[in-house]
Amino acid sequence: MCTRITPVIPFVLVATVASSVLLLAQPRVPPSAEQRAAIERGNSAFKSNCGFCHGEDAAGNRAPDLIRSSVLNHDEHGDQIGPIIRNGRPDKGMPGFATLSDQQVADIVAFLHARVEESMHSARVPGDYPLAKLLTGDAAAGKAYFEGPGQCVTCHSVTGDLAHAASKFSPVDLQQRMVYPAGRPRTTATVTDRNGKVFEGRLAGNDEFYVAVIAADGWYHRWPRAEVRVEIHDPLAAHRELTAKYTDRDMHNLFAYLSTLK
């Protein structure tokens, strides 16, 4: 499938790490009709199966608030939440729901992620939020993380791109950019079709069913995922991986260190 197009679809990311809520400046992209349908089905399934304990809006009742759940915030396509829905947590008194279909579980996951995004976009943190309230970490430990496990020095330099970072940005903006930088570079892909023809361009779509790119000449190409070989080039892949790895302590320590870069 090839179509010439010109619009660029904005990218949205809402990052949450336990007690830290970071709202990024990119505009929110509304869900597609298919996604809305899944969210609505998930809402109904959640209310009938989970609402009594977790609240019909997933904000908690007899059982914990799921919107702020670290498990949900590290979930990708149901890899964390799905097994819990299926098997429950007997040690915490949560029953499993083995009778739910795969589609129903996927719909509930879609609903929960939609609730997280809705909650994050409804929150607002003032840009002049005082630094003292954010500085709860250890700058020395943050420096060690920056140069060690975080592997930040692989791409960044405190005397180069990060020089005087704490003077350039407000505390909230600095914390926000630490998790996900502004000016997101484009993710590109190289696609090789079944005939060996290679296509390169900006990644325009990628899921378990289809992959699509917009080539340099402006043409849109789309293939069934199973029929092509795909290599995705994401300049911010390391940042994505970190959001699923670092802890609250890592976050606060790293922020404390970056705050010293005056």
Cα four-point dihedral sign 41, 45, 47, 53: negative
Instruction: Round to whole Å and give the CA distance between 206 and 252.
Output: 33
CATH code: domain 31-122 is 1.10.760.10
Distance of CA 131 to CAs 45, 160, 259, 260, Å? 42, 23, 9, 12
pLDDT of residue 238: 78
| Residue 151: strand, helix, or coil | coil
Closest CA to 205 of 30, 28, 73, 11: 11
pLDDT in tens, the chain (262 residues): 544 333 332 323 333 333 333 333 344 567 788 889 999 999 999 999 998 899 888 888 888 888 878 788 777 788 888 899 989 988 888 999 989 998 999 999 999 988 888 876 665 555 565 666 677 889 999 999 999 988 888 888 899 988 998 888 888 778 777 876 665 567 899 999 999 999 999 888 888 788 899 988 889 999 998 899 999 888 777 777 777 777 888 888 998 999 999 8
**Cβ pair 69, 18 in contact under 8 A:** no
Domain ranges in the chain? Answer: 31-122, 186-234
Query: 186-234 has which fold?
Result: SH3 type barrels. (2.30.30)
pLDDT of residue 128: 60
Is the fold of 31-122 the same as that of 186-234? Answer: no
Instruction: Round to whole Å and give the CA distance between 214 and 13.
Output: 21
